[in-house]
Amino acid sequence: MHARIDYQKVAPDGVKVLGGVHSYIVQSGLDGALIELVYLRVSQINGCAYCLDLHTRDLVKKGVRLEKLALVQVWREAGGVFDARECAALGWAETVTRVADTAIPDEEFKAVARVLNEKEIVDLTIAIGLMNTFNRIAIAFRRPPVASLSGAS
C-alpha cells in the first residue's frame, strides 16, 4: 500500500487540532487502557490497518494480555475477560461508530449509563468520534501501518 497524501505535512494545523482533542481525552480521567481498547474496537469496525497496528502496540505497552487483545472483536462472547466498564465502553463504541445502522437505541444508552457517569459517557463519545475521524483520514490517504514499514511479521 502506498500513501496517497501525507496529511500531516499538508494540513499540520488540522492534525494539531485533532491532537488537541486527543490531549483532552488523555486528561479526561478515563482509564488509558480502556480508551485504547475502544480505539482498537472502532478501528476494527472501520478496517483501519494503521490504527489497528498503532493501538495494538499501545495496548501491549500498557501490559494488556495478548489473549485479551485477540478477543476484542468478540468481546461479548469472551466470558469474563472484559470487565463491566470495558463491556459498556465497547458496546457504546460499536453503536456510536455504526450510528447510520443503529441510530443508537435507548437500550444501548441505558447500558452504558449503568456503568459510566454522564461526563465519562460524553468523554467516551468524543473519543469514539475522534477515532472514527482518524480512521477515515488514515484510510482515505492510505497511511501504512508501522508493521508494513518495518518489515515486521
Question: In this structure, what DSSP letter does residue 28 have?
Answer: S
* Domains along the sequence of the chain with CATH: 31-144 (1.20.1290.10)
- Residue 151 pLDDT > 60, yes or no? no
pTM: 0.93
DSSP 119-151: HHHHHHHHHHHHHHHHHHHHHHTTPPPHHHHHT
Q: What percent of the chain has pLDDT over 90?
A: 92
pLDDT of residue 150: 64
pLDDT digits (tens, 9 = 90+) for 15-54: 999 999 999 999 999 999 999 999 999 999 999 999 999 9
